[in-house]
Structure 1
Amino acid sequence: METYTAMRHFADSWGLLAMTVFFLGVVLFVFRPGAKKAARQAAIIPLKED
């Protein structure tokens, strides 16, 4: 039972902080300058003829 309490405490504090930082990092990565060009190029990959 002690392991559950420790894991829950970690998830309530540092785990939440880690998920928040990860989320903000993904948002900043998606909205960075130049992301539109990269996304557009990735979107046409399935349509390219070999």
Structure 2
Amino acid sequence: MDLDHGTLVAFAKSFGLFYLIAMSLVAVAYAFWPSKQAQFERAANDILDNEDTPCR
């Protein structure tokens, strides 16, 4: 196999595409994991609960 510039560029583009797709699937799986729902709900509501008073 000849490793010229074109071959390396094609490999880098393919690997990068599959890497980004895999990382996107991992992030989506983490965000929608059922045991994380309570943690995300608490984080979403904590911001709203602390804004009852004006900032000084």
Q: TM-score range by the shorter chain?
A: 0.5 to 0.7
Output the CA distance in 1 between the equivalents of 2:37 and 2:28: 13
**Per-residue deviation, 1:31:** 1.6
Where in structure 1 are there 5+ consecutive unaligned residues? none
Output the CA distance in 2 between the equivalents of 1:20 and 1:30: 15
Aligned length: 45
Q: How do 1:1-50 residues align onto structure 2 when only pairs under 5 Å count?
A: 6=8, 8-9=9-10, 10-11=12-13, 13-49=14-50
RMSD, aligned CA: 2.0
Sequence identity of aligned pairs in percent?
A: 22
TM-score normalized by structure 1?
Answer: 0.66
